[in-house]
């Protein structure tokens, strides 16, 4: 068995199906109209909530709606609009420089391959996969902090490396389900399998989750100690 892959990796399709039954069809939580706007929103979303990004992006796109307009402004101008978002200075610089590169190297076209997307400032593999899956309807599995946490808790990965987790999913799920599976895991992580106080007793995949199985002996032992105290 390859390093980093657990026996639960083979259950990834079942995990997908259970979460799909629980949550149904999910849309991208970021508000955008064009691939460029999604690119900007994805860059802004690093260490920031989607809700916050969606509250700021309309003002930003009213001033700079596309790569051409963004390439002609300065990071300082962008920073003034997004200053309430964390890492505003760095994100502003990356967004403007990405727009310039899009205009200079790609003739204003947002690239649609992971190799080209990751050439853009501020665009890592996760952001590139967001673009592939939502803007271009191409296979892509974005692995954010929720995905990494759930992959390890559920047990289909034993690594914090997002590229390794992406590889595990890609090996065990049809490409057309990669983007959807990421959304389902993220939604489940935000609503049920939270970092603190996960709702394990009300979980759609409790029968598959390795962490849930580990908790059962601990709960049995705790009940035993409580009974002993009462005697």
Distance CA(36)–CA(112), nearest Å, equals 11
Asked if 156 contacts 6 with a C-beta cutoff of 8 angstroms, the reply is yes
- 126 part of the active site: yes
- 144 part of the active site: yes
Asked if 34 contacts 66 with a C-beta cutoff of 8 angstroms, the reply is yes
Query: Of 72, 126, 214, 220, which one is the catalytic site residue?
Result: 126
Distance CA(21)–CA(210), nearest Å, equals 20
Q: Which whole-number Å values give the CA distances from 189 to 49, 145, 183, 195, 197, in the listed order?
A: 14, 9, 10, 8, 11
Name every residue whose Cβ is closer than 8 Å to that of residue 15 and which is 6 or more positions away in sequence.
154, 156, 181, 205, 208
Query: Of 11, 66, 91, 144, which one is the catalytic site residue?
Result: 144
Q: Which residues are catalytic?
A: 126, 144
């Amino acid at each position: 068995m390859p390093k980093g892959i657990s026996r639960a990796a083979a259950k990834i399709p079942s995990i997908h199906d259970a979460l799909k039954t629980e949550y149904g069809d999910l849309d991208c939580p970021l508000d955008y109209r064009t691939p460029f706007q999604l690119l900007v929103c994805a860059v802004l979303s690093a260490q920031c909530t989607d809700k916050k990004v969606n509250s700021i992006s309309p003002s930003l796109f009213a001033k700079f709606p596309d790569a051409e307009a963004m390439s002609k402004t300065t990071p300082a101008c962008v920073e003034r609009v997004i200053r309430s978002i964390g890492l505003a200075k760095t994100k502003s610089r990356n967004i403007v420089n990405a727009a310039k590169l899009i205009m200079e190297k790609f003739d204003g076209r947002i690239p649609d391959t992971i190799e080209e997307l990751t050439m853009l400032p501020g665009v890592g593999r996760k952001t590139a996969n967001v673009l592939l899956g939502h803007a271009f309807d191409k296979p892509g599995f974005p692995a954010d902090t929720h995905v990494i946490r759930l992959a390890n808790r559920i047990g289909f990965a034993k690594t914090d490396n997002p590229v390794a987790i992406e590889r595990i999913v890609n090996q065990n799920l049809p490409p057309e389900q990669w983007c959807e599976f990421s959304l389902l895991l993220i939604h489940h992580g935000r609503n049920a399998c939270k970092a603190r106080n996960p709702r394990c007793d009300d979980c759609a995949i409790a029968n598959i989750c390795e962490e849930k199985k580990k908790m059962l002996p601990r709960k049995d032992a705790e009940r035993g100690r409580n009974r002993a105290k009462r005697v």
